Structure 1
Amino acid sequence: MLQFARSTFFREVEEDIPEIPQHKFNFVEYDQLSSRVDINDILSDVIGRLISIKGVEESNVGNRVVKRRNLTIQNIREESLGITLWGEIGQNFDENAVQQMSEPVIIAFTAMATKQYLGGLYVASTSATSFYFEPTIAESEKIKRRFSHSIQGIDFITPSTEKPTTLEEQKTMNRLMIAELRCLDPYQNQDQKFTTKATITQIDAQQGWFYNACPRCYRRVRQSGTSWWCDTHAYLTTIPISWYKINARIEDSTGGINIVMLGKTVQSLVNKACSILTIQEGYTDPNIIPPLIDQLKGMSKIFLIQFRPRGAFIDATIVKTFDDDESQMLLPAPPVQSPKHIPQPLTSLDPQTPLPETKKGVKKQLFITESTTEEIQSSPQQHPSSTEIQTSFADPSKKRKESRSDEKGKKIRHG
C-alpha cells in the first residue's frame, strides 16, 4: 500500500525506463511442491498447458457441501499436475471460453496451496488465488513453443452425478466388527471399504515408523551411492522425504487385527508432518518410536479400512479415521453358544492361508440377540435351580462314597 502525506511530491521521469511487466509470478517446479504439502502459509504459483477440464461437482468438506472443479495442467517436461478450484473460482471458470481458444492453451495459477490425496500431489485454490490465460511472460512462450505441434487436445470431462456421501454415511460405511473383518477374503474385497470402531493397542517398532520416500509417488526409495533410486521415477533429482508407515494393532470386544497406517492418515492423528519429527526434532532412527507416535496407543477411533496389495501380500490399510461420538471401551467378549462352529480368524494375510467360506456364522456365534435374552429371563423353569447347580459341582469322591454306601445297604437288605 502506498501512503501519500503532505510532504509527498511527484516528479516526471524523463529518461528511458524498462517496460514494467503486466504480471509478476514466482513459479514453483512441480517436483518441488512436495516440500510444501499442507504448509498453508507458503503458497505457490504454477503454470502449464491445459489438458483436461472437469465440470463442477459437489464435495463434502467437514459438514458442508462445497462445489469444486478439477483441471489438469502439464509442464514443459510433460509432467502433469492436478488443479482443484473451490467455490466461486471454480464455478466462474468459463470452459466455453476455453473451447474458443487456439491450442495449446497456457494458464497460470497464483497463490495455490499444495495438498496430497492417495499418494498424489495436487494444488488447490485459496481465497487469494487468481488464474491467467496466455500471460505475456517468457515461461508461457516456452511452453507454447514446446507443444505447438502437439495433436493432444483438451479433454472435457463430464462431472459425476453421484451425490457426495455425508460424514455420517462415511462413518458407518459397511460397518463390521473386527472378528467379521478377519473372516473376509482380502483378495475378493479389494474394491470395498469397511469401517470398524476400535482402539489402537500396539505399535510395532521392529518394522519402523517411517521410510524414505519419493517426493512424487511416495514409494520407498533405495540409496545408490550418493543418489536415491525410485522404481517409478529412476534417480531422484531432489532428496527423498520422510513418510509415515506405522504397523499397529487395533482391537474391539471381538478380537484384534494388524493394520497399516500411512502418510496423511498418521499425520491427521498426531497433527505433525513426518519431516518435522525426523529433520527438526531429530528422530532419525525408524526403529525407535517417538513419544508422539507412542501416544497413539489407547486412542479410540472409527477406522475406514481397505485391503491393499503389497507384493505377494495384502495389508489391511487404514484409509481414514473419524472421531467416535461415543466412548470406546475394550469389553470382554460376549458369551458364545457354540464355539466349535465359529470360523477360525485369519492369522495372516499370506495368500497361502486357506480362507473361510463365509462370514455369516460369526454374527450368530459372537452375539446373543435381545430376543434370546428375553426368552431366557422369561423361562426360568428351563434352567437348573441354584441347588441343582451346587449339586452338579459337588466333590466327585464324595459321590462315589455315597454310591458304595447305597450298594452295601442293598446287599444287607437282600441278604
Structure 2
Amino acid sequence: VPKKVIHQFTEQLHEGELIHVEKFNVSTNNATYHPVAEGELKIYFSIDTVVKKLENQDVSIPMHKFSFVDFSDIPTRCHKQKYLTDVIGKLNAITEIKRIKKRNGEISPKRDIIIEDTSGSTIKIIVWDVMLDQISFNVDGLPSSPAIMIVTFTIVDMFQVLANPQRNPESTTDMMFENRKELIEIFTIMTENSSKGLKYTCKATITKVFSDYGWYYLSCQFCRKMVESLDSKYMCNSCNSTTTNPTPRLQLQVDDLTGTTTLTTFERETQILLPHSVQELINIELKENGPHLIEQILQKIIGSTYVFQFQITDYNITGAKRSFIISKLWLVDGLLEANDLKRKNVIKDLNGSGSSNENGDNDAHKKICKRINITNSKEIF
C-alpha cells in the first residue's frame, strides 16, 4: 500500500481478517527481502482499489505460513538476501542480553540463542534490538520441558575463518589422507618438541568405550567452560548463559595393529558415532532401565573402523601422554583407501627407479595417473 493512499485503507485492513480486494495493480517484486519464497509478484493498491471484509470468516486459510529450511541447507542461504529464512528447532541455550558495538558504530542490545533440530545439529541465532521483546523468558526462566522455537525472516551470515592464502581449500578426501600415519609413527613423532600443533590422521578400530565416564560433558555451548546443574538446566557462571542439554562426549580406545591410544570425541563427532540425538539419549537415560540401554548403545560402536584426525599438544609432548582429542572423523571409504594405497605403491616404484620423489614432478604425476587409470587426479592427491 503506497504511502499516499495508506490513510484510505487504515480502517479496512486488520491482521487475521479475510477480505475481498479488487481494482489493484500487479507488479514484479524487486524488493531486497522476500518474506515469502513464492513472492515473485506483489499487489499494488491504488486510489481506486476496493477492499471489502468477507461476511464468512470461517474459510480455512492459515494465519501463518512458513518456509522452513533444513539446518544442513542453511549455508546455501549465506549472503543471499532475496529470500528471508525460516527455521524451527528445540531451544537449547540462551545468553543474557549484552550491549554490543555494531559494524556501523552503534551500540545495541543483543542475545544469542541456540536451537537444535531432530538430527542433533545446532545453529546460533542472534537477536537484536526491539526483537528481544518477543522472547518472553530469561536465562533463569527457561521452560523445564522442551520448548520449540520458530524464528522467521532471518538473514544468514557466517563468521569468516582466516586461512593460509597460499593454500587451496582442501576437500574432505584430501583431509582424510593428509599426514596419514600409523599410531606407532605418531608416538615416535610426538616425542619431539617441534611436533606441537601438527595434525595427523590414522585409520583405527574402536576396541573399547569407557562408559564409566558417561556419554556427555557438562560444558557451556558458548565458552566451553564447566557448567553447574540447576534444576533441569545447566548454568555457566563464566558467561551467564544457560543450556538445557549437556555436551556429547565419548572416550574411546582405538587400535590400528601398530599401537593403541585413547581418543576423546565431542559434539559433532560424537553425533557421527551414535545414531541418536542428545535429546533422544537423555530420554533413554531417564527410563527405568536407562543406564543399561545407554550402555548397549555405546557398546554397538565397538569394532567399527574410522579415520580419525587429531592434533599433538603440549600434553602429549611434556607428559608423553598417548591420548588425543578428535578434531574430525570419517567413515572408512574402501574405494578411496584402495586408490590411496595404489598411489603410495606407484610413488614407491618411481622412487625405487630414481624417477621421482614422494612429492613428484609433472612427469611423475602423469605416470601415476596413467598407471592407476583415473582421469581426475584430485580424487587421490
**TM class by shorter-chain length?**
0.3 to 0.5
**TM-score (norm: length of structure 1):** 0.42
Which of the pair has more CA radius of gyration? Answer: 1
